[in-house]
Amino acid sequence: MSKKIVIANWKMNPSKVAEAKKIYNGIKKGVTKIRGVDTVVCPPFVFLPELAKLGVTKKLALGVQDTFYEETGAQTGQVSPAMVKGYKAKYTILGHSERRALGESSDLVNKKVRHAIVEGCTAVMCVGETERSDEGDYFRVIREELEVGLAGVKRADLSKLIIAYEPVWAIGKRAEEALDAPALYEMVLFIQKVLTELYGRAPAQKVPILYGGSVKPSNAKEFVEVGKVDGLLVGGASLKANEFLDIIKEIV
Ligand code: PEP
């Protein structure tokens, strides 16, 4: 995959819509000059309408950080892909470790992934182990999250799927505490192997695999060049337009 994808996960930030608009405008302006990268900003739901008014472009899309598996209904607090599509959101991050930590199971993630795809929304399904032991148990964890999360997702649906590998222990840390790039490459090969078992080699190779976990301008290039990922999912560093743009510039 030559074109890279960089996704900003703002989580529950910033606190004010004016700040959200400022960051978004900064990113929007900056990405016009960068070629070869598709950028997606996933703000909190409440900021989506205002950011949608600022516009999306060929290089900058909008997404959200979760969606439910039904279109409407008695589901207090939930938001559906159909609703966010009305505000130009085309991507939905599903199964993020911060949601899994609140009790979201891979079965629930699977329902959300399938529904998002049916609604034409690209599902960014997050997988990641909470810790790494010498015995390599983390490979089993990733296999299970992939197999359960993708149950019922058909080969024809894969154009609406992105896998984000985020080792939980590497999230929200300093650059030096992120996963090292050769270990990332090993995991990328493993994810491709599992996807190949599920869908066959050629379809599996078309599914973008992103890395997330303490990505900064100083380590971004290695993840792509050595880790061989198709892009990055960026949390903390996506809340400063300049830092986020520096990450993008590092990988083109
Ligand atoms: C994330 O939680 O999706 C993430 C990648 O966070 P950070 O970049 O802050 O580690």
Query: What is the Cβ-side half-sphere exposure of residue 156, based on CA atoms within 13 angstroms?
Result: 2
Q: In a 10 Å sphere around its CB, with 0-12 CB exposed, 13-18 middle and 19+ buried, how is residue 193 labelled? A: middle
Angle at 28 between CA 22 and CA 30, to 5 degrees: 100
Cα distance from N-terminal residue to C-terminal residue, the chain: 13
Residues in the chain: 252
Query: Which of 96, 98, 115, 145 is an active site residue?
Result: 96
Q: How far is the CA of 82 from the centre of ligand 1 (A)?
A: 26
Which pair of tokens denotes residue 82?
Answer: 């159909």
Give the pLDDT confidence of 16-75 residue by residue, as tens digits: 999 999 999 999 999 999 999 999 999 999 999 999 999 999 999 999 999 999 999 999
Give the pLDDT confidence of 239-250 residue by residue, as tens digits: 999 999 999 999
Q: Please state the three-class secondary structure of the chain as a single string.
A: CCCEEEEEECCCCCCCHHHHHHHHHHHHHHHCCCCCEEEEEECCHHHHHHHHHHCCCCCEEEEECCCCCCCCCCCCCCCCHHHHHCCCEEEEEECCHHHHCCCCCHHHHHHHHHHHHHCCCEEEEEECCCCCCCCCHHHHHHHHHHHHHCCCCCHHHHHHEEEEECCHHHCCCCHHHCCCHHHHHHHHHHHHHHHHHHHCHHHHHCCCEEEECCCCCCCHHHHHHCCCCCEEEECHHHHCHHHHHHHHHHCC
Could you identify the atom of ligand 1 that is nearest to the CA of residue 173? 10
Is 115 noted as a catalytic residue in this protein?
no
Ligand 1 pocket (Cβ < 6 Å) reads 9, 166, 171-172, 212-215, 233-237
Which region holds residue 192: left if phi is over 0, alpha if psi is between -120 and 50, else beta? Answer: alpha
- Residue 140 CB coordination number (10 Å): 11
Per CATH, which fold does 4-250 belong to?
Answer: TIM Barrel (3.20.20)
Could you identify the atom of ligand 1 that is nearest to the CA of residue 212? 5
Could you identify the atom of ligand 1 that is nearest to the CA of residue 236? 9
pLDDT of residue 62: 98
Is 96 noted as a catalytic residue in this protein?
yes
Give the pLDDT confidence of 139-166 residue by residue, as tens digits: 999 999 999 999 999 999 999 999 999 9
Query: Which of 98, 119, 129, 166 is an active site residue?
Result: 166
Which pair of tokens denotes residue 198?
Answer: 């599920």
Nearest CA to ligand 1 atom 3: 235
Whether 229 contacts 181, CB under 8 Å = no
Whole-prediction pTM: 0.98
Give the pLDDT confidence of 107-122 residue by residue, as tens digits: 999 999 999 999 999 9
* Sequence spans of domains, the chain: 4-250
Q: How far is the CA of 236 from the centre of ligand 1 (A)?
A: 6
